[in-house]
Amino acid sequence: MKKFFPILIVGLLLGLPALVLAEDAPLTADAVQNNLNFVWTLIAAFLVFLMQAGFAMVEAGFTRAKNACNIMMKNMMDFSVGALAFWAVGFGLMFGTTNGFFGTTDFFFSGASGDGEAWNYAFWMFQVVFAATAATIISGAVAERTKFSAYIVYSVFVSALIYPIFGSWAWGSLFNGQGWLEGLGFIDFAGSSVVHSVGGWLALAGAIVVGPRLGKYDKNGNVKPIPGHNIPIAALGVFLLWFGWYGFNPGSTTTGDTSIALIAVTTTMAAAAGAVAAMALTWIKYGKSDIGMTLNGALAGLVGITAGCANVSAASAVIIGLVAGVLVVFSVLFFDKIKVDDPVGAVSVHGVCGAWGTLAAGIFDTAGFSLHTIGVQLIGIAACFAWAFVAGLILFKAIDLVIGMRVTKEEELAGLDFSEHGASAYPDFHTVHLGSVFTPSDNGGESSKTAPVASAQPAKQS
């Protein structure tokens, strides 16, 4: 009897959960699906949050070591202050009961106490990480010369006002009402325009107002490459962003069903095609494949497919990615030519390729080609540029007049880590020059045959 007693105890312990569950009503198919929707949406939100780390790594890698701490601080704080601003004001403007142009209810997330309270929390969580993505795109374009205080101020306004208002035009019906753009039939499933072009055009406005970095252009206006200090970190950032995009695009269904499979495939194909196209073009153009541009090519493909990821075929996704990968190369060269200094290529990747992706969602729509749809997409692209760029210029000019956008020359030369934070990302190392090598770019796109290469060496102990 003694040898059966342990077996009896184990059997009772294993059976207790079944006895407890038996007292509850069995879950219906609808209840299971509802729970799955929650789980999938929140997992997707967490993946998109991981993209903050990706953006931080890309920006840090493509810029100089003396500004790495500042970049980490910016990416931490644009989410932190942005989440508070979106909770207080932005969510209401984007998803509150709308007049067609912006929401007028649900400020301080008051709608969470209404019907479907639990889902409201899940929906807010998914949306706040999107708002953070739009805000953090700007960081790279104004890196290495912008005051930290100015950065915090504009992050609040972007998350509370500029991003949500355009978002309400295209996505308002996801919660409370319908914006005027979606009423026309505008297609932007996961945000090529709503998130990426808004962030990209704001980045363009910021780069124009703050001006180029010291030493970026010589006295004749020629581009002088400023190589990033850690390409492996930048590459890690791209991999993190690509991984996070599986939350960004498939997660935008907010439903755990079979539709996410196609979206994952189109997302993958476009990213891969973008990387291959950028690599091939730089190989042909410079005689060597450029790592910086190849990394940005992958991001360009991801941005390009974001609008149409749910309504284009895998073959169309490849075409969209190929075009984006080529487009980003020429776009970066163009902005350099007109002296818009964008250290990471944010304007090209997110603004330009976001516009291309929005148009492509109409061109390759599996519902069939329609001139009406193309027209609506063009209206959305134009509205996005007009709103984000003009609002951005006003915002950055106002900040520049009140507190100043740019650090002093001495602070920029010393590095923002020291001047803004009294810190150093690499306190035990100093930089030495090893000479000149072939380097097509410092952000994936600047043509140059020679550029100084810096190497970290242990600092001498005094």
Q: Give me the CATH number covering residue 229.
A: 1.10.3430.10
Looking at residue 24, its pLDDT comes to: 56
Cα gap 68→50, rounded to integer Å: 19
13 occurs within a structural domain: no
In a domain, 132, yes or no: yes
- Contact (Cβ atoms closer than 8 angstroms) between residue 83 and residue 132: yes
Whose structure tokens read 């020429």? 330
Within-domain flag for 273: yes
Answer whether residue 147 is part of any domain. Answer: yes
Residue 178 predicted with pLDDT over 90 = no
Burial 64-87, CB ≥16 within 10 A → b, else e: bbbbbbbbbbbbebbbebbbebbb
What is the domain range of residue 395?
36-410
For residue 110, what is the DSSP state?
A: G
**Res. 3 pLDDT band, cuts 50 70 90:** low
pTM for this prediction: 0.88
* Each residue's pLDDT tens digit, 135-157: 999 999 999 999 999 999 999 99
Query: Residue 313's closest CA among 274, 360, 355, 266?
Result: 266
Residue 20, pLDDT above cutoff 50 = no
Domain for residue 159, yes or no?
A: yes
pLDDT at 33 over 90: yes
Please indicate, yes or no, if residue 434 is contained in any of the structural domains: no
pLDDT tens-digit readout, 237-272:
999 999 999 999 999 999 999 999 999 999 999 999
Where do we find the tokens 């956008």? 405
In a domain, 457, yes or no: no
Contacts 24+ apart (CB under 8 A), 179-184: 179/98, 179/100, 179/101, 180/100, 180/101, 181/376, 181/379, 181/380, 181/383, 183/100, 184/376, 184/379, 184/380
Note the pLDDT tens digit of each residue in 398-453: 999 999 999 999 999 999 999 999 999 999 876 554 443 334 445 554 333 333 33
pLDDT value of position 405: 97
Give the chain's domain count: 1
**What is the pLDDT at residue 26?**
74
- Is residue 289 one of the residues assigned to a domain? yes
Q: With CA atoms as reference, report the closest residue to 324 among 353, 296, 344.
A: 353
Q: What is the pLDDT of residues 58-97, one digit of tens each?
A: 999 999 999 999 999 999 999 999 999 999 999 999 999 8
User: What is the reported pLDDT for 445?
Assistant: 40
Two tokens, residue 234: 């930048």
pLDDT at residue 98, rounded to an integer = 86
Distance between CA atoms of residues 311 and 323, nearest Å: 18
- 343: pLDDT strictly greater than 60: yes
